[in-house]
Amino acid sequence: MTAIDLEAVAAAAAPDTLGSYLAESARPAGEQTPGPAPSVRTTEHGGHQITVTTTYDVVVDGTPVTARLYVADSGMLYSPALPYHQFTSALDAVRALMSTYPDHFGGGV
């Protein structure tokens, strides 16, 4: 397990830093589309620029579900609907979403 760098967290949470990040990340309402949301990660290695785009298309009981699943640079999955949770499996993430928000998933056993 990696230790948390409290100074880095405090710097990232500083109002100016966080505000700038959120302003750059926000999309106008008209640009947000339903359906899978791609998670894009980039890095540089040996002078090469690497981009990895991951998209999860989630279907439960034959019905498409808007489950925003993203992949961190560490490879862990997360969802804004479940703050403070990370997952090693997309299936585990969807199970957690279903358990947390059962009213959004009709029927079941």
Instruction: Write out pLDDT tens, residues 38-79.
Output: 889 899 999 999 999 988 888 899 888 888 888 888 889 999
pLDDT of residue 33: 54
30-45 average pLDDT score: 74
Two tokens at 38?
Answer: 């791609």
What is the spatial distance between Cα 106 and Cα 20, in angstroms, rounded to a whole number? 39
Please determine, for residue 23, whether its predicted confidence score (pLDDT) is greater than 90: no
Q: Which residue has the higher pLDDT, 86 or 37?
A: 86
What is the spatial distance between Cα 90 and Cα 81, in angstroms, rounded to a whole number? 14
Two tokens at 70?
Answer: 């993203």
Q: What pTM did the predictor assign?
A: 0.61
pLDDT of residue 1: 61
What is the spatial distance between Cα 90 and Cα 65, in angstroms, rounded to a whole number? 13
- How far from each other are the two terminal CA atoms of the chain, in whole angstroms? 36
Place of tokens 């439960």: 60
What is the spatial distance between Cα 96 and Cα 89, in angstroms, rounded to a whole number? 11
Give, in degrees to the nearest 5, the angle at Cα 79 between 63 and 16. 140
Least confidently predicted of 30-39, 75-84, 92-101: 30-39
